[in-house]
Amino acid sequence: MKRAFWGLILSFCMAISAASLTEAAGLFDSQNTGPKILIGEIQSYGDYELQADAFQIFADKLCQELNQHKLMVTGNTGKMSNEEGRHSEGGAGEGALLSKIHMDAIVHGHQFEHGYAAAKLVRYADATMGRRFFYDEERVAAWKKQPQQTYFLSQGVQAAAKKIAGKYGATYLLFVNVKDVDVRLKHGMFASHTTNETRGKKMKAALDYYLINASTGRVYEGHCENKKTAQMYNFALVQGGKGMDVAELLNHIMEAQTDDIVKDIVKNGMKAVH
Amino acid sequence: MLLALMMLPGFIGRVEASPVVMLAGVQSRISKSAITMTEIDTGFQEMGQVVSETLYAELAANPKFTMVDNTETARIARMDETALINQLGNGQINLELQKQADYIILGFITNVSNIKAQSGVLGVGGKDGTVHVEISMRVMDAHTGALVFATTANSRRKSELKYNVIVHRKDSGLGDALNNALDIAAQNLAAQFLEAV
């Protein structure tokens, strides 16, 4: 009887011990109630690239928007731009696999332009879909006319997506391809001063995003384009306008884009891949 | 039996212990563009210190978690903060930090700019400048390396005001405006963190 009593106490102590290990990790458990989204990769697979820091800033803004919509966010803390995976060819590391999943979602999607893609993406597209695939213009044009239609990742890639999402406990994976950022200095026709301050700047950015259901590999694809202009003018006795640097313009555009992305995936994306 | 009794207070103490949160450091993510309209000459290290100190002060008093006395770790982190953050970001668990904290906060300065605006006609009008600061934080689970929370905060403060209507006025103070903006942004960031826990 005594043995049973002390055995019970020992079991109780061990149970408390086990509970205490999970205690520390529970600080953020109650913050959001929605599904957990893994930020897979914020990168450019277009002709040009932004600096890695710009993608990281984009990732922070995206996380904040997702939080505001009560969605839980996860990912590899320091590597949401996945520079290492993006710039490595092959490999079986998590970064390389995330890059592969992103590329697979892009090449199967409606927005892929064979002629305006990064070299790595073109090689992946040719290897996966066959070189002739993108030259069947009628079929590609017909596919582009159905932008709301979801599609699936390749089978092997689907398994990799499921495995990585499982590791982070995520229901969905989200990838963003910031494929085009264009900055123009406007001419100073109405500027009496020709310094930088009076020269206008116009920035445009286009991106595609891919929401993937981790358990089925079904992909929802979205696209958004945003622009921002700033110009100060000093014309004779009239002056006006607003001036800001390029980083500030990019900041405004990123805010608009992350807002657009999250609203769309909440309203349409998650239902589409469910 | 004796062992069980000896372990009991320790276990109860562990249960009551709140999670430990560590501020690893604040670094800059600002890439200077070749087409820059305005230049702010304050160093990013000084800006990072303003943000760090405000964040720490705002978070330290909260009873839900314990901010560690991380003097030594912070010193090491400041010495090679990028390497530390890269290591953590690679999913590598830093054993030293893991022993000391459950969550690690990584802070970043993501935007500092001076926005200028002007309007006027026939010499009557004004100009102003506004410092816009944006900072962000990522919170990492020290045991798994996974992101658990990320957010951003920003603040705008007037750095210059000049008008000439009936009276003439000219005020400027970029340094003060910048420090105020960083301080307010860090307070906003801390408030979002506290709201999430």
Q: Please tell me if residue A51 touches chain B, with a CB cutoff of 8 Å.
A: yes
**CB-CB: which of A13, A28, A77 is closest to B8?**
A13
Structurally, chain A folds into a number of domains equal to 1
Any domain includes A3: no
Any domain includes A25: no
Q: Please tell me if residue A28 touches chain B, with a CB cutoff of 8 Å.
A: yes
- A87: nearest Cα among A141, A144, A11, A79: A79
Any domain includes A21: no
Any domain includes A17: no
Give chain B's end-to-end CA distance (angstroms, integer).
39
Distance CA B11, CA A23 (A): 12
Give the CATH number of the domain where residue B107 resides: 3.40.50.10610
pLDDT bracket for residue B74 (50, 70, 90): low
Any domain includes B162: no
Any domain includes B5: no
Q: Specify the DSSP class assigned to residue A115.
A: G
Distance CA A211, CA A41 (A): 11
Domain limits at B192? 20-31+39-111+134-154+175-196
* Phi, psi (degrees; rounded to nearest 5) at A32: -130, 155
Any domain includes A20: no
Find the helix or strand (DSSP H, E) in which A159 lies. Answer: helix A155-168
Interhelix angle B44-60/B174-196, rounded to 10 degrees, is 40
Any domain includes B97: yes
pLDDT at A19: 37
Any domain includes A23: no
- B113: nearest Cα among A250, A211, A178: A250
Averaged pLDDT of chain A: 83
- B40: nearest Cα among B170, B183, B136, B173: B173
Q: Please tell me if residue A138 touches chain B, with a CB cutoff of 8 Å.
A: no
- Best mutation target, A13, A14, A27, to test chain B (most B CBs within 10 A): A27
Any domain includes B191: yes
Question: Which residues is A62 bridged to in the sheet?
Answer: none
* Pairing status of strand A151-152 against strand A72-74: unpaired
pLDDT in tens, A230-260: 877 777 678 788 888 788 888 899 999 999 9
pLDDT at B160: 82
Q: Please tell me if residue B124 touches chain A, with a CB cutoff of 8 Å.
A: no
Helices (H) and strands (E) in chain B, counts: 6, 6
Looking at residue A190, its amino acid is F
pLDDT: which is higher, A7 or B165:
B165
How many other C-beta atoms are found inside a 10 Å radius of the C-beta of residue A194?
9
Does B79 have pLDDT greater than 80? no
> For the stretch A197-230, what's the b/e string if a residue is b when 16 or more beta carbons lie within 10 angstroms of its beta carbon?
bbbbbebbbbbbbbbbbbeebbbbbbbbebebeb
DSSP line for A75-111: -BTT-TT-HHHHT--S--SHHHHHHHHHHHHHHHSSS
Task: Kindly report the nearest CA distance between residue B110 and chain A, in angstroms.
Answer: 6
Give the CATH number of the domain where residue A39 resides: 3.40.50.10610
pLDDT at A78: 75
Q: Tokens 């109405």 appear where?
A: A190
pLDDT in tens, A54-95: 899 999 999 999 999 989 999 887 788 888 888 887 777 888
Q: Specify the DSSP class assigned to residue A202.
A: E
Domain limits at A118? 33-273
Q: Tokens 């969605």 appear where?
A: A71
Structurally, chain B folds into a number of domains equal to 1
Distance CA B19, CA B3 (A): 26
Provide the ipTM.
0.79
pLDDT in tens, A116-167: 899 999 999 999 988 888 888 888 889 889 888 999 999 999 999 999 999 9
Farthest CA pair distance, chain A: 101
Task: Kindly report the nearest CA distance between residue B78 and chain A, in angstroms.
Answer: 17
pLDDT at B58: 92
